[in-house]
Amino acid sequence: KKSAAEAHRILVQTYGDNALSDTTCRDWFRRFKNNDFELEDKERSGAPKKFQDDELEQLLDEAPVENRGVSPAMHPHRPQNQTTLRPHVAKPVKIYLETLKWEVLPHPLYSPDIAPSDFHLFRSMAHGLADRRFHSYEEAQKWIDSWIASKDMSFFRRGIHVLPERWSKVVESDGKYFH
């Protein structure tokens, strides 16, 4: 029996950049698991759509300078440059940081706030969060606290012991995103 994450991994291996996003895959996986095989979007509350996709595409084509960051946001499954700085700015900054002897920690493109050392914890936590919805900050905090308390010390030790291997992968990939 496959999980949504495994199904998405297989789709990415098969279809590459044309694969469904992880979120869409998880949503369909949940629907199919609940015997909901309807592929049409269900009615939702909220503001009605004010434009057609063709109109949006035309606007994006007309003023590319004004909407430079829009295209990557529309295609979050496609890796972008690791740095958010423009290339002509990034290189001098990198050189300057090297003169200060600062170690710049690489991070995955999709999660700039998560360091490679956090993957063990968050990958495991993601499985527990599948199909879960929180209605308040307190509810989420309570779940996180109980999830952490449910893990024994060997879980955290294992995460620490795989750090050298994770860092080797980061170094071998030259800091680029990998699965």
**pLDDT in single tens digits along all 179 residues of the chain:** 778 888 888 888 888 888 888 888 888 888 888 888 776 766 666 655 555 566 666 665 665 555 555 555 555 554 444 445 455 556 777 777 778 777 665 555 555 555 555 665 677 787 777 778 888 889 888 988 898 899 888 888 888 888 788 778 777 777 666 55
pLDDT recorded at residue 33: 85
Could you tell me the domains of the chain?
1-37 (no CATH), 106-178 (3.30.420.10)
Which class for 4: exposed (0-12), middle (13-18), buried (19 or more C-beta within 10 A)?
A: buried
pLDDT recorded at residue 83: 47
Under 8 Å CB-to-CB from 169, ≥6 apart: which residues?
116, 178
CA distances from 78 to 21, 42, 115, 121, 131 (A): 9, 27, 20, 24, 24
pLDDT recorded at residue 176: 66
Residue 9 CA to residue 13 CA, distance in Å, equals: 6
Tokens representing residue 115 in the block: 């360091």
